[in-house]
Amino acid sequence: MTTAKWLIVGATCLTATTLAAQQPAATAPTQAPSTASAATASLTQKIPLDPQITTGQFANGLHYYIRKNKKPEQRAELRLVVNAGSILEERDQSGLAHFVEHMAFNGTKHFPKQETVKFLESIGMRFGPSVNAFTSFDETVYMLEVPTDKPDVLDKAFLILEDWAHNVSFDDTEIDKERGVITEEWRLRRGAGARMQDKQFPILFKGSRYAERLPIGDMEVVQSFKHERLKKFYEDWYRPELMAVVAVGDFDKAAIETLIKNHFETISKSPAAKLRPTYDVPKQPGTLYAIATDKEASGTSVAVYSKMPARDQSTIGGYRQQMVERLFAGMLSARFSEMAQKPDAPFLGAGAGRGQFVRPLEVSTLSAGVKEDGVERGLDALFTEALRVEKFGFTATELDRVKRNIMRGLEQAVTEKDNTPSSLSPTSTSATLPTRSRVPASSTKWACTPGSSRRLRWRR
């Protein structure tokens, strides 16, 4: 058993933005573009939706997205994405967004009690790869992978999705049974990582509702809430205008569109408009830090997080900026890797990155895995190298190397596009929501754990 230290610093310097500003100003590509449209794309233009996606919105506000993809054959991935998560809970509902997700598998109008699970098992679906759900701060996503060769099975799969959208039963006995299931899930997750995270998140999210609404919630509330408070969360936030249905797979698009219409167009419009609030993570003066130790931690690491408001990345210019930042992080990470291979290196490994952490917050990170007594030296090395970059930049060779790697990956994706299996990452799913939200980092969402529930043993 080792004693580990984690340190998070919310710094205000060394952001990829300030460094990227040394790059040439955003202009149209100067090299011969591969297509005419790339040559004329304006940086303020919205990134167009894949033309192979059929999309629509019903009068009740629900959006849908359909894309045919031949691999794997006779399979489809279906999603119900709800633009609601733990951030919308009131204090006495802490943990109930996740609780609703559990109740979706404990009885709905057409699948009472455990019939949903029984049906899914009867068609050979396995929890984990075929059925899944997660709750995060800002959204809740339900996922099914189903065979497409039997129309009645496909129809029933959409009926399950529809029931989740507006027909969860909330049977009193089932609610009370589920309290123990969730508490057990929480207990099993109380590993070193979770315990240390508990000390980091309030610092990272300081001054924000995000610090007080972790998706797993408050176990005292989970044990004692009144049933009405759970039903209220469902009524308040499972609204068609906050939902999207997504289908990708080996099927006839028109037939799928008909199924989606049959199941979702008739859901009643929400009676009165209820604004879905958003919450910021405010800037804090100076540098914040958290130090957490745990005797069960498997290692020691140090990380610097530079917080900044999330930007709109739905435009060509936004995509270009992401690319610049990807190049930057790639070059800096490559330097760290080289340093880590030297004898007596200041860290075991290190990396740089930038991304959306929760909906309103982006973070630029520098992180290192270090020896138990190496936090200070590791931190020093991260800053020294980052400052070196700020002062002297990168060499053309470093840029070329990272560019080539990225280009190789992109070219491969294009070459393989007809053989790429249907895979709806949470990111791609939620990116289709009208809010264009991105699903947060894995640590900020709560996927159900295997063995934690008496019926649903899966995880993402």
Catalytically active residues, by annotation: 101, 178
Chain centroid, CA 248 distance in Å: 19
Size of residue set near Zn ion by CB under 5 A = 2
Closest to Zn ion by CB, 33 or 129: 129
Closest to Zn ion by CB, 253 or 455: 455
CA distance 295 to 146: 43
Contact criterion met (CB below 8 Å) for 215 and 135: yes
| Exposed / middle / buried, residue 393 (Cβ in 10 Å: 0-12, 13-18, 19+) | middle
Rounded least distance, CB 441 to Zn ion, Å: 18
Contact criterion met (CB below 8 Å) for 61 and 116: no
Piece in contact with Zn ion (CB under 5 A), picked from 29-37, 165-173, 377-385, 444-452: 444-452
Closest to Zn ion by CB, 138 or 185: 185
Please report, as residue ranges, which positions from 173 to 192 form the binding site for Zn ion (by CB under 5 A): 185
DSSP 3-state of 368? strand
Rounded least distance, CB 458 to Zn ion, Å: 9
Tokens of 332: 């800096």
Q: Which residue is nearest to Zn ion (CB)?
A: 448
Closest to Zn ion by CB, 8 or 84: 84
Piece in contact with Zn ion (CB under 5 A), picked from 353-361, 362-370, 405-413, 441-449: 441-449
Rounded least distance, CB 182 to Zn ion, Å: 6
Closest to Zn ion by CB, 186 or 328: 186
Is residue 448 involved in binding Zn ion (CB under 5 A)?
Answer: yes
Rounded least distance, CB 439 to Zn ion, Å: 16
Q: Give all strands (DSSP E) within 269-408, no chain letters.
A: 288-294, 300-309, 349-358, 361-370
Closest to Zn ion by CB, 100 or 196: 100
Rounded least distance, CB 10 to Zn ion, Å: 30
Is residue 144 involved in binding Zn ion (CB under 5 A)?
Answer: no
Q: Taken in order 221, 227, 229, 234, is the CA torsion positive or negative?
A: positive
Piece in contact with Zn ion (CB under 5 A), picked from 9-17, 195-203, 267-275, 447-455: 447-455
With CA atoms as reference, report the closest residue to 386 among 428, 311, 331. 331
Is residue 7 involved in binding Zn ion (CB under 5 A)?
Answer: no
Distance of CA 392 to CAs 62, 321, 370, 384, Å? Answer: 51, 21, 26, 12
Is residue 456 involved in binding Zn ion (CB under 5 A)?
Answer: no
Is residue 133 involved in binding Zn ion (CB under 5 A)?
Answer: no
- With b for 16 or more beta-carbon neighbours within 10 A and e for fewer, the 162-175 pattern comes to bbbbbbbbbbeebb
Question: What type of residue sits at position 272?
Answer: A
CA distance 164 to 133: 11
Tell me which residue has tokens 């991935």.
Answer: 77
Rounded least distance, CB 167 to Zn ion, Å: 20
Q: Which residues bind Zn ion (CB under 5 A)?
A: 185, 448
